[in-house]
Amino acid sequence: MLIHDLDTPAVVCDLDKLERNIQAMARHCRELDIPLRSHTKSHKIPEIAHMQLASGAIGICCQKVGEAEVMVAAGVRDILIPYNIVGPVKVERLLRLARRATITVAVDSLATAQGISDGAQRDGGSVRVLIELDTGAKRCGVQSPQEALALARQIVALPGIDLQGVMTYPSRSEAKDFLDETAALWEEAGLPLHVISGGGTGHEAISKELGCTETRSGSYIWEGLSRVRSSQDLSDERCPLRIITTVVSTPAPGRIIIDGGMKTFASYPPVPYGHCIEHPEIQIYAMSVEHGHVDVSRSSHHFRVGERLTFIPLHQEMALNLHDELVGYRGEQVEVIWPVLGRGKVK
């Protein structure tokens, strides 16, 4: 089957480009001498995780327990969930996973750690834990090295908690003082600091400079968001993920409608919602739920109903999360149809 035979909207992935991105990031991290932990929330497909591991990644990240279950079931054996796992149902699932694979989670409060410890005392087992530091992202994380120290002291001896170190996101040079001070305090207190996990595609070198023992990167496999936004930099050679659409209406001069809207591309702002490969001069300027509204006023091409147009979506991870399958192709040949097994695993 050729990609031209696929009905639309079709979410497809250029395998040559995907493999190139995976290899390039692996090489980049080898050259920096920092271990890479690939974040699989960007794709949620076990076989792509295995490709990342085969290229040299030391393990993967999942953002939810349900995603980790999918990956463990596919044979992945080292997973960091950089997320506070809260509540007895999830903790029980976490402990089950930790019996089958090396599982590490983030915590930023005694309450989260205590919940895991309580579960471990009920069900047995233990979980590797990193304390999450808020080094500027203003999301989760303890707010200071002193808080990190205090929390570490509280949880290090809890049954079922195997404290391994700290994590932050994203790795920024501004985090240096926070990390250095935390390391000094922990050393003084005799606390274990085997892992300092940094993260963010594009932050690998900074992670190394900060002294991180690993760097978590995910969106590098699609290499798209920022490039599509600043279209002068766009090299579609680096963007494997595409959505093939069909023109379903050419109602008025300057406007065409394609058969994908918010339920195909995701509703993530801002305009433009995607970059057109065949006609970079056209722009998706609005989206209904199932219609994409495209401004073609700057194009000299005569668009016809039935014509196919290929777009690099703006937020590739959110777009892929809407679909059950990803079609991998090489040249024009369909090579694999991957079920997006981690899709919708919000728990």
Grouping H, G, I as helix, E, B as strand and the rest as coil, residue 326 is strand
Q: Is 246 in the site for a copy of itself (CB under 8 A)?
A: yes
State in angstroms the smallest separation of the CB of 243 from a copy of itself: 10
Neighbours of 259 (CB within 10 A): 19
User: Considering only residues 137-156, where is the footprint of a copy of itself by CB under 8 A?
Assistant: 138-143
Neighbours of 308 (CB within 10 A): 16
State in angstroms the smallest separation of the CB of 61 from a copy of itself: 11
State in angstroms the smallest separation of the CB of 292 from a copy of itself: 10
Neighbours of 304 (CB within 10 A): 9
The C-alpha atoms of residue 61 and residue 59 are separated, in whole angstroms, by: 7
Task: For helices 88-100 and 110-123, give the axis angle rounded to 10 degrees.
Answer: 60
- Pick the closer one to a copy of itself by CB: 26 or 248: 248
Selection from 188, 166, 195 nearest residue 178 by Cα? 166
Q: Is 254 in the site for a copy of itself (CB under 8 A)?
A: no
- In this structure, what DSSP letter does residue 305 have? T
Q: Is 96 in the site for a copy of itself (CB under 8 A)?
A: no
- Pick the closer one to a copy of itself by CB: 134 or 223: 134
Selection from 299, 121, 263, 106 nearest residue 196 by Cα? 106
Q: Is 302 in the site for a copy of itself (CB under 8 A)?
A: no
The C-alpha atoms of residue 179 and residue 212 are separated, in whole angstroms, by: 9
- Pick the closer one to a copy of itself by CB: 26 or 151: 151
Contacts with a copy of itself by CB under 8 A lie at: 7-9, 41, 63-64, 83-84, 86-87, 89-90, 108-109, 111-112, 115, 134, 138-143, 246-252, 255, 257, 259-260, 262-264, 266-269, 288-291, 293, 304-306, 315, 317-318, 321-324, 344, 346-347
